[in-house]
A = this chain, B = another copy of it.
Amino acid sequence: MAVVFEKTELLTDLPMHYCPGCTHGIIHRIVAEALDELGIGKTAVGVAPVGCAVFAYDYFNCDMMEAAHGRAPAVATGIKRVCPDKCVFTYQGDGDLASIGTAEIVHAATRGEKITAIFVNNAIYGMTGGQMAPTTLPGQVTTTSPNGRDVEHCGYPVPMCEMLATLSGSAYIQRVSVHDVKHVKAAKKAIKNAFAAQMENKGFTMIEVLSTCPTNWGLSPLEAVQWLKDNMIPAYPLGVFKGAEA
């Protein structure tokens, strides 16, 4: 019998620590496969964030660095300048990338830093127990917006793709989702595009992946993918915001 699907070698054998049904795992897989399929996986250098993906260095089977919360783009910049021919990527949550790490991602983008940011937007701070993120939807209940996010009081979701696309240094920016098979496949293609653009020295690349957090959304895994589809996609339209799809 021929193998139709098996775990890529670019992922280690360690069981992942994510909650049941959390789509972080899917995103790990497609990132690893994309690297593998482009033949740049073994010599890639990844940067893990502070967030639920904090142990990503245990799962991606390549050189990895653990960055301080939000600083992954700066760390990746340091690595890339030393290893300009390697594929360097960050894997960051929305708290990490769109809140505390805003300056670092904006300036990596405007510098046209030749790295790829995998931006996992689950509209919440997962690891710390479900606080409001800058990406939290209006009205969404979190532990620090107990009556639902009040935009008058604490503002609006940050559209990172739209914002970073205004910067000349950004080369490829796309928003994708992983709530069903079709979208998972499209997401993987987007990630491959971004890595390819990086290796062609086109500039800064970022893929925003809409992701679930069943635990902190208080939903079952199936309800969570449905909620993503029904609520997040309208607020965060999918598409390519910068660069041409390969």
Contacts and interface: CB of A to CB of B under 8 A. Distances in A.
A29 to B, nearest CB: 31
Contact of A167 (B152, B154, B156): B156
Contacts of A158: 106-107, 110, 167
Given A110-B156, A156-B110, A163-B166, A102 B103 contact: yes
Interface string A138-163: 00000000000001101111110011
A166 B166 contact: yes
A218 to B, nearest CB: 25
B151 A112 contact: yes
A156 B169 contact: yes
Given A111-B154, A167-B163, A100 B99 contact: no
Interface in A78-129: 99-103, 106-107, 110-113
A134 interface: yes
A166 B156 contact: no
A151 B157 CA distance: 31
A43 interface: no
A162 B155 contact: no
A26 B111 CA distance: 32
Contact of A110 (B155, B166, B168): B155
A154 B168 CA distance: 12
19 contacts: A99-B107, A100-B103, A102-B102, A102-B103, A102-B107, A103-B103, A106-B106, A107-B155, A110-B134, A110-B155, A110-B156, A110-B157, A112-B156, A113-B155, A151-B169, A156-B169, A158-B167, A163-B166, A163-B167
